[in-house]
């Protein structure tokens, strides 16, 4: 088996449990009471043209149920997509934790993961600039464990009491509910300017991390420092990391905005389709483990969620792998009704006093009560643990269990003392606490700039350019000049050059003097330029073709890509089949006008004189090429297809001439004749590199 698993796992325990409630609705139509119905198109009425009758119970039940279909969307993270899978630990972590699922390498623990955007409503577009949620429910033998993380390792605020303020600031403005799913508006930046603890996270939000190429290509972080506890009751601080096996890759800003219109479900669809294809998303779980004795060895507070622990200081230990291999059956029942909660922990995993985490431990249960309509939401199929549930909690709306017996209290003798207090219970870590009741932020939480600078210093040049443009875009959308100025003032504490560059783009007077000198430190692990770039697995390639295409050349290219797990789609002006020069035909996968270059990772022009002549005069095809070039994607052409590149509005490039096997210039790879192997290799290398960031794109009109 390759390092990317492709086998569909046999049903696990959670899957078998869900099977008991799966319903295919393939029997005769009935009411909810099971009474058969023979007409669901006409309501019962007094005569053909008469009024509808109240006694039409089928009509009333159908309409009433419909009227009550909606539940409140999540107050944040409303839009999401989810999948089932499993997690397996590489080696026992018993030295640090007694959690069963982290100590038995032979065990596959079922999981459900929900990815999400934060600010937008349920119907908003996937590719907006935003944080992505990365929430994992482990259905362990000892109960459910939820790791409710994000794709960025820090957060906007330090104390949960500020969360409603922050969310009110970033959400659409309350008078007109504008803008939807956008951080580029006055209220958010007003909050940022007045609350500088947001700055480190704002650097992440303005970076490429906020526009991931795919949920399969983004990291996940637990954010807070948590605590592992072993059999002996000894604690170890831990930071959780998920690392995608495909590398961490992003889109470019212009592309994300276009995808928002062309395919608002871009990230959801990508997750769904890859699982349907058997190309299962995989992530490695890593841990930064910090002995309690080292709690105060850092120049920041481990309890401060606006800080990372640089990997160069505490390396990430690979711990296990998660594979997502099954799509849900029903979006509402599973992805919408899943209820995560930071306090869903199992023995061996515990909290710290991070004030943000403490607040979350309150908020998540509270929110499920309103969202899912009462205290029995754990009985919903997707939420039910695979571990036995047995307690004296009773009744409430939507109670699905039929509890037997006379006793629902403890202690009892009439019910044989059941449920009894079992072995191996959850025991809270015995941390000593002592202090006066005060409302005061710790002095150790006061530095808001150093790690923002650390993040900036760690970026590659293209990443830094993107970040600067993002600040200019977002602040440029703010109508209030003082809001822009205040943020620039803070940026001047992060980095003088950045502050000046941002100011210049938004009509703010650039700060004359450096406020806080840049400390010069960096953490290379923070840059996506240092991610994995050696695989094209699951990448999507558009091949442009028309009548007269070199069908054999396209088929050979498709096969060469398929071997590496990359998919080729043939796009032509019309759907159907193309006649090839040699008398063969080639199936068109999609018509050019139904798709767009922004929905692919690369654009390739097929060979064949007739095809090339037609495409060279097709504005839409030329736009595919120019746009892919603008978005720094690999662009390629085979044989006569090279002529189409010449017709496209690209800068002067070195293209293959007669007899050239493979020529690569700025990620534009061309091939005229002979064995195409060299071309395949050059193209694959460019595609694995994701984007060609040093390309000259300024003059390309797309
Ligand atoms: Fe959340 N967050 N959050 N959050 N959060 C919710 O819970 C909250 C925070 C995160 O796919 C809500 O069920 C508070 C950090 C994810 O269902 C709510 C605070 C991180 C999801 C809530 C935070 C997250 C949520 C809304 C500050 C990353 C989606 C609906 C104290 C570590 C889970 C819901 C899913 C969802 C509260 C901060 C991640 C209201 C009060 C930090 C991934 O309970």
For residue 220, pLDDT beyond 90: yes
The tokens describing 177, both together, are 């509910």
Kindly tell me if the per-residue pLDDT of 673 is higher than 70.
yes
Confidence of residue 24 (pLDDT cuts 50, 70, 90): confident
142 CA to middle of ligand 1, Å? 24
Mean pLDDT of 575-581: 95
* 27: Cβ contacts below 8 Å, ≥ 6 apart: none
Catalytic residue status for 344: no
Banded pLDDT at 9 (limits 50, 70, 90): low
1 alpha carbon to ligand 1 midpoint, in Å? 37
Residues 425-484: tens digit of each pLDDT: 999 999 999 999 999 999 999 999 999 999 999 999 999 999 999 999 999 999 999 999
Distance CA 498, CA 500 (A): 5
The CB density around residue 184, as the number of other CB atoms within 10 Å, is 16
Both structure tokens of 385: 């643990």
Please enumerate, as own/partner, the contacts of 504-511 that have beta carbons within 8 Å and a separation of 24 or more.
505/468, 505/469, 505/471, 505/472, 505/476, 506/472, 506/475, 506/476, 507/481, 508/475, 508/481, 508/484
**Structure tokens of 674?**
């002979």
Q: Give yes or no for a contact between 602 and 635, defined as CB atoms under 8 angstroms apart.
A: yes
> Does residue 252 carry a pLDDT above 90?
yes
The whole-number pLDDT of residue 25 equals: 82
pLDDT of residue 1: 37
CB 678 within 8 A of CB 693: no
Interatomic CA distance for residues 359 and 364, integer angstroms: 9
pLDDT bin (cut points 50, 70, 90) of residue 2 is: very low
The single residue of 58, 77, 185, 690 carrying the catalytic annotation is 77
Percent of residues in the chain assigned helix, strand, coil, to nearest 5: 30, 15, 50
pTM of the model: 0.97
Confidence of residue 203 (pLDDT cuts 50, 70, 90): very high
Tokens of 504: 């210049």
Cα 135 to averaged position of ligand 1 atoms, centre (Å): 9
Alpha-carbon distance 628 to 603, whole Å?
Answer: 7
pLDDT above 70 for 643: yes
CA 328 to ligand 1 centroid distance, Å: 22
CA neighbor of 181 nearest in space, from 232, 116, 245: 116
ipTM above 0.95, yes or no: yes
All structural domains of the chain, each given as residue ranges with its CATH number in brackets, are: 80-379 (2.40.180.10), 540-688 (3.40.50.880)
Q: Which residues contact 335 (CB under 8 A, 6 or more apart)?
A: 80, 81, 82, 114, 328
Chain mean pLDDT for the chain: 96
pLDDT of residue 3: 53
Residue 16 assigned ligand-binding role: no
Q: What is the pLDDT of residue 180?
A: 98
Span of 10-19, 324-333, 484-493 with lowest mean pLDDT: 10-19
Q: Give residue ranges with CB within 6 A of ligand 1.
A: 74-77, 80, 114, 116, 133, 135, 148-150, 155, 160, 163, 223, 305, 340, 356, 359-360, 363-364, 367
Residue 114 is labelled as binding a ligand: yes
Q: Residue 4's pLDDT is what?
A: 53
Residue 403 has pLDDT above 90, yes or no: yes
Q: 150 catalytic, yes or no?
A: yes
Number of H helices, E strands in the chain: 17, 19
Give CA–CA dist 389/408, Å, rounded.
14
pLDDT of residue 699: 84
Q: How far apart are CA 590 and CA 361, in angstroms?
A: 48
pLDDT digits (tens, 9 = 90+) for 487-536: 999 999 999 999 999 999 999 999 999 989 999 999 999 999 999 999 99
Q: Which atom of ligand 1 is nearest to the CA of 357?
A: 31
What pLDDT is attached to residue 581?
Answer: 84
Give the neighbor-by-neighbor strand order of the sheet with 540-544.
Answer: 590-591, 567-572, 540-544, 602-605, 635-638, 668-671, 663-665
- The Cα 328–Cα 334 span in angstroms is 7
Q: Which helix (H) or strand (E) holds 60?
A: helix 57-67
Instruction: Choose the catalytic residue: 144, 150, 327, 383.
Output: 150
For 49-94, the pLDDT digits (tens) are: 999 999 999 999 999 999 999 999 999 999 999 999 999 999 999 9
pLDDT digits (tens, 9 = 90+) for 137-172: 999 999 999 999 999 999 999 999 999 999 999 999
């Amino acid at each position: 088996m390759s390092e990317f698993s492709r086998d569909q796992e046999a049903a696990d325990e959670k899957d078998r449990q869900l099977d008991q409630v799966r319903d295919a609705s393939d029997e005769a139509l009935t009411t909810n009471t099971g009474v058969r119905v023979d007409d669901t198109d006409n309501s019962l009425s007094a005569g053909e043209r008469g009024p509808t009758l109240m006694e039409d119970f089928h009509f009333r039940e159908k309409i009433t149920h419909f009227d009550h279909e909606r539940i409140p969307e999540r107050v944040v993270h409303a839009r999401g997509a989810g999948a089932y899978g499993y997690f397996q630990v590489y080696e026992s972590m018993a030295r640090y934790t007694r959690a069963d699922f982290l100590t038995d390498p032979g065990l596959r623990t079922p999981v459900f993961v929900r990815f999400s955007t934060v600010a937008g409503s349920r119907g908003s577009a996937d590719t907006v600039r935003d944080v992505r949620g990365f929430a994992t429910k482990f259905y362990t033998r000892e109960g459910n464990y939820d790791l409710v993380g994000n794709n960025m390792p820090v957060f906007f605020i330090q104390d949960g009491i500020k969360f409603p303020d922050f969310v009110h600031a970033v959400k659409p403005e309350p008078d007109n509910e504008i803008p939807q799913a956008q951080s580029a508006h006055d209220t958010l930046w007003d909050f940022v300017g007045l609350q500088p603890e947001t700055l480190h996270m704002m650097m992440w939000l303005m970076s490429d991390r906020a526009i991931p190429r795919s949920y399969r290509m983004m990291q996940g972080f637990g954010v807070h420092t948590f605590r592992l506890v072993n059999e002996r009751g000894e604690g170890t601080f831990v930071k959780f990391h998920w690392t995608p096996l495909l590398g961490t890759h992003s889109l470019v800003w212009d592309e994300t905005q276009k995808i928002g219109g062309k395919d608002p479900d871009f990230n959801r669809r990508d997750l769904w389709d890859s699982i349907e294809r058997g190309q299962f998303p995989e992530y490695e779980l890593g841990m930064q483990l910090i002995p309690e004795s080292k709690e105060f060895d850092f120049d920041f507070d481990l309890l401060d969620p606006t800080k990372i622990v640089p990997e160069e200081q505490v390396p990430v230990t690979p711990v296990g792998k998660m594979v997502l291999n099954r799509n849900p059956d029903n979006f509402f029942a599973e992805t919408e009704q899943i209820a995560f909660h930071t306090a869903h922990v199992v023995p061996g995993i515990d909290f710290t006093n991070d004030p943000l985490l403490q607040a979350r431990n309150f908020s998540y249960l509270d929110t499920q009560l309103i969202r899912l309509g009462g205290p029995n939401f754990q009985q919903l199929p997707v939420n039910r643990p695979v571990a036995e549930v047995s307690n004296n909690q009773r009744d409430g709306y939507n109670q699905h269990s039929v509890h037997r017996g006379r006793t629902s209290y403890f202690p009892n003798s009439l019910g044989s003392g059941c449920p009894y207090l079992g072995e191996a219970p959850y025991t809270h870590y015995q941390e000593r606490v002592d202090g006066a009741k005060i409302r005061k932020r710790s002095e150790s939480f006061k530095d808001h700039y150093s790690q923002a600078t650390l993040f900036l210093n760690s970026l590659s040049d293209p990443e830094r350019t993107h970040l600067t443009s993002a600040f200019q875009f977002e602040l440029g959308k703010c109508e209030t000049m003082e809001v822009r100025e205040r943020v620039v003032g803070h940026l001047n504490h992060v980095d003088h050059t950045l502050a000046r560059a941002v100011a210049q783009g938004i009509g703010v007077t650039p700060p004359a003097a450096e406020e806080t000198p840049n400390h010069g430190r960096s953490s290379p692990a923070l840059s996506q330029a240092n991610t994995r770039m050696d695989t094209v697995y699951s990448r999507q390639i558009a091949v442009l073709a028309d009548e007269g295409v070199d069908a054999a050349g396209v088929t050979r290219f498709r096969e060469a890509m398929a071997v590496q797990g990359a998919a080729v789609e043939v796009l032509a002006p019309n759907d159907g089949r193309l006649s090839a020069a040699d008398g063969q035909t080639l199936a068109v996968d999609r018509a050019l006008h139904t798709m767009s270059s922004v929905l692919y990772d690369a654009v390739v022009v097929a060979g064949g004189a007739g095809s090339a002549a037609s495409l060279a005069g097709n504005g839409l095809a030329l736009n595919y090429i120019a746009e892919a070039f603008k978005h720094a994607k690999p662009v390629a052409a085979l044989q006569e297809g090279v002529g189409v590149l010449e017709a496209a509005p690209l800068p002067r490039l070195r293209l293959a001439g007669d007899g050239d096997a493979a020529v690569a210039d700025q990620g534009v790879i061309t091939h005229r004749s002979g064995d195409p192997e060299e071309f395949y290799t050059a193209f694959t290398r460019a595609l694995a590199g994701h984007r060609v960031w040093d390309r000259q794109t300024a003059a390309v009109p797309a």
